Amino acid sequence: MANMQRRPDGRWRARYRDHDGREHARHFDRKIDAQRWLDAITASMVRGDYVDPRLGRTSVCQYVDLWLPAQPLRDTSRRAYDSYLRNHVLPALGDQRLASVTRTQVLAFRRELEERLAPITARHVMVMVAGIFADAVTDGMLARSPCTDTVPRRPPRRSVVPLTVDEVDALIAAAPQRYRAMVVLGAACGLRLGEVLGLAVASVRFDDREIDVVQQLVLVPGRPPRLAPPKTRGSVRTVPMAEIALAALTDHLSAYPADAGDLVFRSRTGTPVWPNTFNTSVWQPLRRRAGLPAARFHDLRHFMASALIRYGESVKTVSAVLGHSDETETLRTYSHLWPDADARTRAAVDAVLGPRADYLRTGHPAHGL
């Protein structure tokens, strides 16, 4: 039900009732403006995309408090979202009403992010912001999202440059005894840091020379670290152990005995090793001692992949050992390390016809021609 009425001051009062029977009203100087407003409201109700104006007055911060707990996120993703919101989104947009945020403001926010953050991080934040406003539209809080075409393109992936054998040797030598086997597992088995820290003694099958990767240690905002499933379903895997990994784990457990249900790597007090504590207190000092200030623990995983590729392993094998969700991820990350089709073609032809090249250059037939 909608109607208009002229007030004593000459202005026009337009009002309507929504689906729940609540009355809404606005005042206009001109009758035609009041009629257009009522027509737009009526059309939105007929289309089914009507939005209660009061819901749009909800602040971004209030909506996020409801939105984030409801998201089906892995613990690592939830930790990242919490950081993005606290450090970037809420300080800039948190106090604004959902309906008052404009596309221009979102673009300005994006520009500020790109000035302060790495391109991939800025993109991750903008993807999250676009998701928040898209869900606000779905929840009936907004008629449309202000984030149309505001997410930057994915930046070009930088080619992985693997560590050399000498660099890995230097990292292993620089590692404290308690954590040396961790470095070996990163380089020889391609385990992620969380997978190494979450490795239980029972998951190491010494007789079979294999490791069952079935859990990882993760951090959740405001809580101590906890064990959780690996990153993806593909990350649940069995990894073969080379002799160096077998020897490193044997030596470690001889020096730091543990029961089958215990974690292989524990702090001096017997508690799990927090990933951020390991990075700050162990990894940063050891990489400086090794003369590799830019090396990351994850670079050990890249070294493992490059070793497999160098020795002719297939994409399927590399993907399975690393626990990638699919082989596309493996190719996207390491395709430049495999010989390309042109190189393989040249090698094949040279293997068959190479001796004849000498004849063409010298005029003397090669042996056997």
Residue 73's domain is classified under what CATH number? 1.10.150
Q: Quick one: 320 and 355 in the same domain?
A: no
* CA 38 to mean position of chain CA atoms: 46
pTM value is: 0.70
CA distance 360 to 339: 27
Confidence of residue 48 (pLDDT cuts 50, 70, 90): low
Cβ–Cβ < 8 Å for 314, 199: no
Pairwise pLDDT comparison (20 vs 110), residue with the higher score: 110
Q: Quick one: 206 and 323 in the same domain?
A: yes
Q: Quick one: 169 and 231 in the same domain?
A: yes
Q: Quick one: 327 and 266 in the same domain?
A: yes
pLDDT in tens, 158-212: 888 999 999 999 999 999 999 999 999 999 999 999 999 999 999 999 999 999 9
297 DSSP 8-state letter? T
Total number of domains constituting the chain:
4
CATH of the domain at 322: 1.10.443.10
Tokens representing residue 220 in the block: 């959740």
Q: Quick one: 191 and 208 in the same domain?
A: yes
Q: Quick one: 243 and 97 in the same domain?
A: no
Question: Domain range for residue 353?
Answer: 339-369
Confidence of residue 343 (pLDDT cuts 50, 70, 90): low
Domain membership flag for residue 297: yes
Residue 363 has pLDDT above 90, yes or no: no
Kindly state the average pLDDT of the residues 57-82.
90
Confidence of residue 348 (pLDDT cuts 50, 70, 90): low
Q: Quick one: 22 and 131 in the same domain?
A: no
Percent of the chain with pLDDT over 90: 59
Q: Quick one: 242 and 198 in the same domain?
A: yes
- Three-class secondary structure of residue 212 per DSSP: strand
Domain membership flag for residue 40: yes
